[in-house]
Structure 1
Amino acid sequence: MKRFSVPLAACLLTGTLAAAQPDLVILVRHAERAAEPARDPGLTPAGEQRAEALAQALSGLRVNAIVTTQFRRTRDTAAPLARALGVQPLVVDAKAGHVQAVADAVRAQTGVVLVVGHSNTVTAVLAALGGPKLAELCETSFHHAFVLQPAEQPPRWAQFSYGAASPPPAASCL
């Protein structure tokens, strides 16, 4: 007779062990933000161009879910793609436990998911989803995009750039 832990046995009985998960996750930092208003700025003209470049770069991937934070800069970065695809972004508040909350929200999706985060969360969410542990993004870095196939064992990942190049990174960040 096989023995299972209580959580595993419960999953087997309820059929949630093989729960759906996304095929592909794309993670980016919000585009260049304006200086004002200080509390919740939108995007600069360069940021708006980068948001459009993101929509173009992902146009053929059939993104069916978008996750952002409550901050305008993440919502504005996702907006061109969301409009083009008719997708309503899921907002996960940036607060204590944010990285895990985003990872949980992503795992609840299927298909292709775009996550628009912040310099201090993008690589942490990538790691929480099974990707590599990378340095945080630099405050001046906006061009990075990470792609993760979480269902692969081990999860496969890649990185690409989109939009205009960012300034060279500092030694301790990407």
Structure 2
Amino acid sequence: MPKSIAILLVLCCSLLSPLKVQAEPELIILVRHAEKAADNPADPALSALGQARAQALATALQYSGVSSIYTTQFKRTRETALPLAQARNITPQVLGAKRGAEHINEVVTAVRASSGVVLVVGHGNTVPAIATALGAPAMKEFCESSFSHMLVLRPTAQGVHMVQSRYGVVEASSTEANCQ
């Protein structure tokens, strides 16, 4: 009898102990990579303007508390994240860009498993889709010439609150009515 009581007591204590809560970021920042150079069509580096924008991103987020950074394998996303990663001593995690929903799901899974403030540097066709998959309202893909978008998502008990902002120099084309 004492052995069964001990087992029951251990079981009850384990049920009463706090449940392990899944990590969730307090803030998610999504940006498209900065302007790319024309050096290598398959995997271009950043242009001088793109390097300046990457530095502007680091400046804009210097006090944000970014603790995790996700990029794709492409130079343009890694180089966009580099100044902030160096300033915060963070090694960005590379999530290979794949076609369609598979990539979006991989990014969303990684972000949701993170805690703190998370930066995702993606692409014009993936950043809006990632935001939507995280609970933000649906939005159009970014225009090919638009690089200044910054989406800031805060998960709440009621859903996701999103603020759309800009950083660095805002491109003339991104102020057009048909350009996101």
State TM-score, norm by structure 1. Answer: 0.87
Larger Rg: 2
Instruction: Give structure 1 regions of 4+ aligned residues with deviation exceeding 3 angstroms.
Output: 15-18, 169-173
In structure 2, relative to structure 1, the CA distance for the partners of 1:16 and 1:93 (3 Å cut) is: farther
> How do residues 147-158 of structure 1 correspond to structure 2 at under 5 angstroms?
147-158=152-163
Q: Alignment RMSD, CA only?
A: 1.7
More divergent stretch after superposition (149-158 vs 61-70): 149-158
- Residue 140 of structure 2 is aligned with which of 135, 143, 155? 135
- 1:145-168 per-residue CA deviation (whole Å, 9 max, x = no partner) reads 000012341211101110011132
Hey, what does 1:88 align to over in structure 2? 91
Q: What amino acid maps onto 1:123 in structure 2?
A: P
Provide the rounded CA distance (Å) in 1 between the counterparts of 2:133 and 2:27. Answer: 15
Secondary structure of the residue that 1:150 maps to in structure 2?
Answer: strand
Count of matched residue pairs: 161
Corresponding position of 2:104: 99
Larger CA deviation: 113-122 vs 16-25: 16-25
Q: Following the alignment from structure 1 to structure 2, what is the Cα–Cα distance between the partners of residues 16 and 94?
A: 34
Which structure has greater helix proportion? 2
Name stretches of at least 5 consecutive residues in structure 1 with no aligned partner: 1-11
Shift, 1:18, TM fit:
3.3
In 2, the alpha carbon distance for the partners of 1:99 and 1:172 equals 25
Is the contact between residue 173 and residue 179 of structure 2 (CA under 8 Å) also seen in structure 1?
no
Corresponding letter in the other structure for 1:67: Y
Query: Which of 57, 60, 83 is the matching residue for 1:57?
Result: 60
Q: 1:110 aligns with which of 98, 111, 115?
A: 115
Partner SS for 1:160: strand
- TM-score (normalizing by structure 2): 0.85
SS across alignment from 1:25: strand
In percent, how many aligned pairs have the same letter?
50
* 2:40 alignment counterpart: 37
Q: Deviations over 1:15-37 (max 9, x none)?
A: 87831100000000000001111
Separation of aligned partners in 2, 1:16 and 1:93 = 33
Residues 21 and 151 in structure 1, CA contact (< 8 A), matched pair in contact too: no
